[in-house]
């Protein structure tokens, strides 16, 4: 007895012992194809953490709350990311997103594939860090803070907590490597690869 599903080229159930090996091979191939499709349609590796997953692979990659505050964005995808009209902000004292004082990125602001974009907070961008813009809010070092990347409609694109006193002055709270899910206190690397 033989059951044929879909087309002959896709799968065939055949109960004769000589064909059972072929059936197993066919099923393995189909399962392998499904796994590949799932991987291809999922988010790029490393773009999701305990916060909100990034849209298009842009995530908050590094934060400093003392000794010159900054936020580094990283584009974990292989395509350029357009940040026109997007915003970055911290939390208010009542632990809500502070929309009113968010920095807005100018039209035409982009991040290169696997590239960085630094926001220097309350101090001018160091000359050696490009691209970079200045923002007029700080990260709460003693109280902790939450940074939110907003799209042009104020939807949350990415969000990252900075725990209270997460990194000593002069260092930063950074993903252990670019795009990795876990954070640790590191040497500061705005606009460059995260490294211990
Ligand atoms: Ca970095």
pLDDT band at 51 (very low <50, low <70, confident <90, very high): very low
In the structure, ligand 1 is a single-atom ion and the residues with CB under 5 Å from it are 62, 72, 189, 194
Token pair in block for residue 157:
């694109």
Instruction: Give 63 Cα–ligand 1 centroid separation in angstroms.
Output: 9
Token pair in block for residue 85:
């009209």
Instruction: Give 192 Cα–ligand 1 centroid separation in angstroms.
Output: 5
Instruction: Give 153 Cα–ligand 1 centroid separation in angstroms.
Output: 27
Radius of gyration, alpha carbons of the chain: 23
Tell me: the pLDDT tens digits for 52-105?
Answer: 344 458 999 999 999 999 999 999 988 899 999 999 998 876 678 887 778 999
Helix/strand/coil percent split, the chain, to 5: 15, 35, 55
DSSP assignment of 7-40 equals: -TTTEEEE-SHHHHHHHHHHHHHHHHHHHHHHHH
Rounded-to-integer distance, Cα 148 and Cα 145, Å:
10
Q: So where are the chain's domains? A: 2-41, 58-187
Instruction: Give 172 Cα–ligand 1 centroid separation in angstroms.
Output: 9
Could you give phi then psi for residue 174, rounded to 5 degrees? -135, 150
The predicted model scores a pTM of: 0.72
Tell me: the pLDDT tens digits for 15-35?
Answer: 444 454 444 444 344 334 433
Q: Are 102 and 71 in contact (CB under 8 A)?
A: no
Exposure string of 44-78, with b = 16+ CB inside 10 Å and e = fewer, is bebbbbebbebbbbbbbbbbbbbebbbbbbbbbbe
Fold for 58-187, please state it.
Immunoglobulin-like (2.60.40)
Tell me: the pLDDT tens digits for 33-43?
Answer: 433 333 333 33
């Amino acid at each position: 007895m033989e059951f044929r599903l879909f087309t002959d080229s896709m799968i065939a159930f055949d109960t004769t012992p000589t064909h059972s090996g072929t059936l197993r091979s066919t099923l393995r191939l189909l399962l392998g194809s499904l796994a590949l499709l799932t991987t291809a349609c999922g988010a790029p590796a490393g773009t999701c953490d305990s916060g909100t997953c990034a849209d298009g692979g842009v995530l908050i990659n590094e934060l400093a709350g003392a000794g010159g505050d900054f936020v580094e964005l990283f584009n974990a995808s292989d395509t350029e990311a357009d940040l026109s009209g997007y915003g970055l902000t911290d939390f208010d004292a009542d632990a809500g997103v502070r929309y009113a004082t968010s920095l807005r990125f100018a039209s035409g602001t982009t991040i290169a594939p696997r590239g960085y974009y630094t926001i220097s907070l309350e101090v001018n961008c160091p000359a050696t860090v490009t691209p970079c813009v200045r923002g007029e809010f700080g990260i709460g070092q003693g109280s902790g803070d939450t940074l939110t990347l907003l799209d042009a409609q104020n939807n949350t694109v990415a969000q990252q907590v900075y725990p209270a006193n997460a990194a000593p002055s002069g260092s930063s709270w950074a993903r252990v490597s670019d795009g990795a899910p876990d954070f640790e206190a590191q040497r500061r690397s705005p606009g460059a690869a995260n490294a211990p």
